Structure 1
Amino acid sequence: MVFRAGPFYCALPLGEVIETMRPLETRALAGTPPYVRGLTILRGAPAPVIDMPRLLTGVETTVDRYVAVRAGRGPIVCATGEVLGVREVHVEPPEGPAAVLAGVSRTLIAAVGTLGTEPLLLLHSIAAVPDEVWEAAGQTPPENPS
């Protein structure tokens, strides 16, 4: 599924997407990174909301849609720009342009490609939610099998 995040188009594997929706009421959560917008209620349960443009660019932009995705401890909501829908995308492997990415971007971006003449970031997982946000949402870490 392809969506806009600030100046970039981004793609998530369709198997990770739960649903798209209009932005829901979101409550700010103190002590979290700037890209965490807060918590929302998703189908009766609290879910963290990640501002995707801010996560990827550091800049706050307008949010048009929320995209619920499967993540480590439960669903999270990605605040995005326009959702373009399901598209087949072609990307370069990580040793190409994605190899120069660092920090959160490198852990989030699986590959870099294009959509027409625009850059497209293939996201391999939404793993950027800090533990304190999961804990505030009532999600405990999975137990380690001994």
Structure 2
Amino acid sequence: MPVDVEGRFLIVRAQHWTCALPLSEVAETMRPLPIAPVAGLPPFVRGVSVIRGEPTPVLSLAALLGGTSSHTAGRFVLLRVPERRAALEVEEILGLRALGAAELGAVPPLLQGAAGGQLEVLGTLDGKLLGALSTARLLPEALWASLARRGAAA
């Protein structure tokens, strides 16, 4: 999403990171489902979960950003990825917010915070998922606190 366009975002928390996912990339949110681990995958890929009858990869947003996978996800965020879906495991969904061009221009892209090497691994595994995540943003705590105080509901 270009930074000169206002957008609607789903705000989520993954450990100490507050992240803004473009609503256009989100299919739905849900309670976490059982995850079957798969050997040989990078640490940010938790495994596969059957969602709506389809095997779906589950990625730990916290582990992707350099934290640890909690193994006690609060929610799944099902992302729209061309030709399939992927689930992001997050601790908490904080709500929907509209972010303007000035706010978007002042916050870093989500993947700028990706742990060393994780971005390259994700790109190698799934370029389309990398594309979907590239429009997400990291929200500094001060900006999130300001948005929460304003009650800037979408």
Q: Could you say which TM-score interval applies, normalised by the shorter chain?
A: 0.5 to 0.7
* TM-score of the pair, normalised by structure 1: 0.67
What number of residue pairs does the alignment pair up? 117
Aligned-partner residue type, residue 80 of structure 1:
V
Q: Which of 15, 25, 41 in structure 1 is aligned with 2:34?
A: 25
Kindly state the Cα deviation for residue 19 of structure 1 after the two structures are TM-superposed. Answer: 0.8
Query: So what's the TM-score if we normalise by structure 2?
Result: 0.63
Identity percentage over the alignment? 35
State the match for 1:43 in structure 2. 52
**1:92 aligns to 2:105 (yes or no):** yes
By how many angstroms is 1:24 displaced? 0.3
* CA distance 1:84–1:43, change in 2 (3 Å): same
Unaligned runs of 5+ in 2: 1-9, 121-129, 146-154
Work out whether residues 91 and 113 of structure 1, in 8 Å CA contact, stay in contact via their aligned partners in 2: no
SS of 2:55 mapped into structure 1? strand
Alignment partners' CA distance in 2, 1:23 and 1:70: 17
> Root-mean-square deviation (CA), in Å?
3.0
Amino acid at match of 1:69: L
Query: Equivalent residues in 2 for 1:1-146 (5 A)?
Result: 1-61=10-70, 62-89=72-99, 90-92=103-105, 103=117, 104=119, 108-110=133-135, 111-114=137-140, 116-117=142-143
Q: Which runs of 4+ in 1 moved over 3 A?
A: 96-103, 107-119
Matches of 1:97 and 1:10, distance apart in 2: 10
1:63 maps to a residue whose letter is A
Gaps of 5+ in 1: 120-146
Per-residue deviation, residues 35-84 of structure 1 (Å, max 9, x unmatched) = 00000011111100000011112322342100101114410010001101
